[in-house]
Amino acid sequence: MAAPLLTSLTEPGGDRPDALVVAGRPCSREDLLGAAGAVAARIAGAPVVAVRATPTLETVTAVVGAVLAGVPVVPVPPDSGPAERDHILRDSGAALLLGGTGDDADGPAEAVPVDPAERSGWSEPEPEPDSTAFILYTSGTTGAPKGALISRRAVAADLDGLADAWAWTAEDTLVHGLPLFHVHGLVLGVLGALRTGSRLVHTGRPTPEAYAAAGGSLYFGVPTVWGRVVRDEAAARALSGARLLVSGSAPLPAPVFRGLAELTGQLPVERYGMTETLITVSTRADGERRPGYVGLPLPGIATRVVAEDGADIGELEVSGPTLFDGYLNRPDATTASYAADGWFRTGDIAAIEPDGSHRIVGRASTDMIKSGGYRIGAGEVENALLDHPAVSEAAVVGAPHEDLGQEIVAYVVADGVGEQDLIDFVAGRLSVHKRPRKVRFLDALPRNAMGKPQKKLLPPA
């Protein structure tokens, strides 16, 4: 029989009434198993299930229930507007939306309540390692988000590799407040704790005050969160007792790295990954920590840089057991994401130093934006803007931003509509974090002789 994915839930010992605390609500592992067992019994046999992924104990219960039952989970961002939600539900074929609310009633899936106070036994066999654990929707440079198929085997391999790199054990208390619909907050931040057996404190929101108050040993954050911690000196100093501060999902600026070192007395650990590959490269707890470096490949992962003309900087390609099984319903996009010899093309530009340490230096495409650690395709935002009747042309870029890394700036040709109207229009259709922070109005987009928009020629934001 296959080994359990969530090892600590099925092993006796080490439990406590506050083994998990999610947005202030404590729960033991035994109680989580009971509540998740009730979810599993309700959804067993469903081909796939969606979860309205609020940062709550309900979401953790729903996801664990689906993982127990072997039903692939599709997390839906809780602030996604109808256009994005309906795309995710229809494309994935999810007929059930766990934790759905009245707002979801007009969508394509039936809302199913989740109650963390329920208890039910669950003793069905562990699902096969090759079966799908998650379908994670993620943006490409154009079009609507695609569903990345993530197997149980990939999740287990990644969490075990990270436990090895970070010396992550049941002795740790993991603290973070990241969203529960992406790899960082959900796969690492929830399943990681349930596999290693560490305590988990999810702070609801990733605020510096909440991190400071949580008293953890292991902290996860995106660079925006760490930048905010550094700007809140008291909060930063409160983290000096932690064992490991881990940053990922976007480049950690060197000043933030140095600020953390100065205020907490320890150098942060940076790691690199993607929805499609999970985390593949990380600084080790016992390794050298340098600003701008994301460390070494995890056990079992191979990396290479594919550069033109013998240069040592080029596109990073990876292979190994943590890779996804393709995009749902998109064989074309799946094929395009692999090199001819089967390595996954990350689209990130990297350099590998002689000592094996990796440095991520940029993205191959400017149409892939990272804002606050969220991945946002320019094309999806452009399409949303073009759905507004007053907009005739749109070009979206990521502009450098002190707090968010990049902020979304939209350039539009439009008549009779204001900046805030367009920001609210996008926020209402897509997830709120995909909204432009600025809108600039032009008479025409700069185009080349072929009529193709030239984003390089747009005026500064």
Check binding of 270 to ligand AMP (CB under 6 A). yes
Q: Which of residues 160-189 bind ligand AMP (CB under 6 A)?
A: 182-183
Compute the distance between CA of residue 122 and CA of residue 36 in angstroms, rounded to an integer. 9
- CA quadruple 62, 68, 71, 77: dihedral sign: positive
Sort 356 into a burial class: Cβ within 10 Å, 0-12 / 13-18 / 19+: exposed
Shortest-Cβ-distance residue relative to ligand MLC:
372
Shortest CB 317 distance to ligand AMP, Å? 12
With CB under 6 A as the contact rule, the residue among 219, 220, 272, 344 that binds ligand AMP is 272
Shortest CB 295 distance to ligand MLC, Å? 13
Check binding of 249 to ligand MLC (CB under 6 A). yes
With CB under 6 A as the contact rule, the residue among 432, 441, 446, 455 that binds ligand MLC is 432
With CB under 6 A as the contact rule, the residue among 273, 372, 398, 405 that binds ligand AMP is 273
The single residue listed with the structure tokens 């149409």 is 367
With CB under 6 A as the contact rule, the residue among 364, 427, 442, 458 that binds ligand MLC is 427
Beta strand spans in 337-404 (E): 344-352, 358-363, 368-371, 374-377, 391-401
With CB under 6 A as the contact rule, the residue among 372, 379, 398, 436 that binds ligand MLC is 372
- CA quadruple 230, 235, 238, 243: dihedral sign: negative
Check binding of 434 to ligand MLC (CB under 6 A). no
Shortest CB 248 distance to ligand AMP, Å? 5
Which amino acid is located at 58 in the chain? E
With CB under 6 A as the contact rule, the residue among 135, 186, 201, 294 that binds ligand AMP is 294
Torsion of the alpha carbons at 74, 78, 79 and 80, rounded to the nearest 10: 20
Nearer to ligand MLC, 253 or 373 (CB): 373
Compute the distance between CA of residue 127 and CA of residue 278 in angstroms, rounded to an integer. 20
**How many Å separate Cα 444 from the centre of its chain?**
35
Check binding of 225 to ligand MLC (CB under 6 A). yes
Q: Return all residues near 364 (Cβ < 8 A) that are at least 6 apart.
A: 315, 347, 348, 349
Shortest CB 48 distance to ligand AMP, Å? 20
Percentage helix, strand, coil, to 5, in the chain?
30, 30, 40
Check binding of 224 to ligand AMP (CB under 6 A). no
Q: Which residues bind ligand MLC (CB under 6 A)?
A: 79, 178-179, 182-185, 206, 222, 224-225, 248-249, 273-274, 372-374, 423-424, 427, 432-433, 435
